[in-house]
Amino acid sequence: MIELPSPGRTVVMGILNVTTDSFSDGGRFLDRDAALERGLALKRLGVDIVDVGGESTRPGAARVDPDVEAGRVAPVIADLVAEGICVSVDTMRASVAEAAIGAGASIINDVAGGRADAAMASVVADAGVPWILMHWRSAGDYVHRGTADHYDDVVREVRDELMTQVDLAVKAGVDPGSLVLDPGLGFAKNSDHNWALLKALPEFNELGFPVLVGASRKRFLGSLLADADGEPRPPAGRETATAVVSALAATHGAWGVRVHDAQASLDAIAVAEAWTRGAAGR
């Protein structure tokens, strides 16, 4: 069983999108050398995991052929693992997860939480790797990702639906100790849904699984920081808000945060942890 990183503080997962159209960094790291350089830069900054994704999940993104997705991520993963980096693969597809594990990935980050590919659980169980189960009710429904699903009580429903995903994973032979939960901020959820889920982070922690928070540069932060004309803050202007979310996530017990600007969140988490300890040193 491959263990999750546990650095004694909130884990920082640095994002490496090897895609053409991710919402805030699409196309920058499609080149293998550029992707490796980005991964090494993240390692130098001190991230615990580099999360490699080959298919954008932004609203309206076109699906990528599974072979293309695997072809994008596997070589980059192999290069990063060769440098001693802990790598997760961001995919909803069992075939891509299998290729990623073959290339050395040690964590599966699945935005569909197993609901987009019935074969994913057996791939994870056979490989004995940690599996991040993210909540996305309409998993894989890209067309409507930008449209919020209806929730009467988003916290209760997301919590219950995540636990259903846990039950299905365990029934398929996955070790419950290898699971991480993620509320899926922005995945068919509106701003109020996202803020309610963040406020409820302690309730998710009570489920007994590590919780990952993925708020980095997301639209609900842009809406919060809209200008006097109501124009949302663009993605590049959302780094401070992202770092504050990281600090608060750390304060409220998140296992990890998934971010683009690793330095800002590493600094924010260091401040939050010193504050909580009431002392500088660990």
Ordered DSSP codes for the chain: -PPPP--SS-EEEEEEE-SS--TTTTTTT-SHHHHHHHHHHHHHHT-SEEEEESS--STTPPP--HHHHHHHHHHHHHHHHHTT--EEEE-S-HHHHHHHHHHT--EEEETTTTSS-TTHHHHHHHHT--EEEE--TTTT-GGGTTSPPP-SSHHHHHHHHHHHHHHHHHHTT--GGGEEEE--TTSS--HHHHHHHHHTHHHHHTTTS-BEE--TT-HHHHHHT--TT-PPPPGGGGHHHHHHHHHHHHHTT-SEEEES-HHHHHHHHHHHHHHHHTSS--
189 assigned to active site: no
Tell me which of 10, 57, 178, 194 binds ligand PMM, using CB under 6 A.
57
Rule CB under 6 A: is residue 55 a binding residue for ligand PMM? no
Catalytic residue, candidates 189, 218, 233, 238: 218
Nearer to ligand PMM, 24 or 240 (CB): 24
| Site track 2-31 with ligand PMM (rule: CB under 6 A), x = hit | -------------x-x----xxx-------
Q: Per CB under 6 A, which region of 54-62, 64-72, 112-120, 163-171 contacts ligand PMM? A: 54-62
Residues in region 154-213 near ligand PMM by CB under 6 A: 182, 184-185, 212
**Least distance from ligand PMM to the Cβ atom of residue 135, Å:** 9
| Site track 212-231 with ligand PMM (rule: CB under 6 A), x = hit | x-x-----------------
Give the catalytic positions in this structure.
Answer: 218, 258
